[in-house]
Amino acid sequence: MPPKVSTDHRVWVALSYHETKNAAEVIRRFRRQFPDVSPPADVTVEAIYDKLVATGSVLEQYKGHAGRPATSITDANIKAVDAFFKTSKQPTIRKYAAKLNLPPTSIWRILHKELDFRAYKVSVNQLLKQSDIDARMTFEAKMREKLITT
């Protein structure tokens, strides 16, 4: 797939095509004007101009609007989730989702993506005793001996 044509290049292409009405000539001029950028195809040149004539704009229509819109992640829901999770001692996503009548995944997305909350995981470390260190050194010596003899 060829690279996308930037907005500045789209404007230049539309103006050049308006002058010449020839896609091949626009491509030649594009190569001279922008030697480090690969030129658009002739159908792209014509499509950019046709879009300018039809809509008055050369911008990409769906840029930033791909996919299904997020309906649960609103400013009101973000504020409500933030207030609840800051005041509760042991909040759970499932209980709060039931209270707010939102899916638990939406609560999770608000917490992670909007509020940057992460689950706190307790790490359990055991204190090493002298016998643990001695056993480790013994094991290391036996393994070294086996490697040398084989």
Domain boundaries of the chain, sorted by first residue: 7-55, 75-114
Extract the tokens encoding 13.
Answer: 């292409």
Rg (CA), the chain: 31
The residue with tokens 């791909």 is 66
pTM score: 0.44
The tens-digit pLDDT sequence of the chain (150 residues) is: 456 788 899 999 999 999 999 999 999 999 999 998 899 999 999 999 998 898 888 887 766 666 777 778 888 888 988 888 888 777 788 888 888 888 899 888 888 888 888 777 777 778 888 998 899 999 999 999 988 887
Distance CA 71, CA 36 (A): 42
Phi, psi of 107 (to 5 degrees): -60, -45
Per-residue confidence (pLDDT) for residue 3, from 0 to 100: 64
Per-residue confidence (pLDDT) for residue 66, from 0 to 100: 67
